[in-house]
Amino acid sequence: MEAAHVAGFKKKAAAEGRTIVFVDESGLSERPTVVRTWAPVGQTPQLEFSFRWNHLSVIAGVTWWNFYFRLHQGAIRGPQAAEFLGQIHRQIRRPLLVIWDGLAVHRSRKVKAFLERHPGQVHLAQLPGYAPELNPVEYLWGHLKQHGLANFCPRDLGELGAEARRKLRRMRAKPTLVRAFWKQADLSL
């Protein structure tokens, strides 16, 4: 049922000549994502990290061939979401169909003001409720946290941000990885 919902967006975007961009937000904590690793026999690996709860927020948009991202200190609110829409609109330079979840930030005054300043250039569509598996960006977050930043213990937010940017840029340089996010979401274009 949900996949048919997204298929309707795909047809609409093709008819209007729009590039489909799936968008989502996530958080990165100073506390590491602990995953299984290796160590010499008899030497248990030790992760040393602070117990601070500081975090960065990251917003990303995935197209069929690439993804775009931006990091923010603190939570993502209306101004950051509108700024990100402007960023991807400038970079892609085509009419967009942005598909995202029902987060209240996506309906903020700043986002509505952005849409009014760019009439017809950016259309928004909402994913069905409780269907994160349809969003390829969710798989980008999973890969970043389970592989790119796995067991990484930053000293501070600056180091976390620098490492996250480095890993995201490295992931973006692998088009097969971007296509894998689409395949995991069981979507094809």
**Crossing angle for the helix pair 136-143 and 175-184, to the nearest 10 degrees:** 120
Supply the pTM of this predicted model: 0.84
Q: Which of 173, 167, 149 is nearest to 67 (CA)?
A: 173
Q: In the predicted model, is pLDDT for residue 124 greater than 80?
A: yes
Q: In the predicted model, is pLDDT for residue 117 greater than 80?
A: yes
Q: How confident is the model over 2-45, as pLDDT tens digits?
A: 556 566 777 777 778 889 999 999 988 776 665 566 667 777 66
CB 103 within 8 A of CB 80: no
Q: What is the pLDDT of residue 1?
A: 44
**Which residue would you say has higher pLDDT here, 6 or 112?**
112
30-34, 91-95, 174-178: which range is least confident on average? 30-34
Q: What is the pLDDT of residue 3?
A: 58
Residues 34, 55: Cα–Cα separation, whole Å:
16
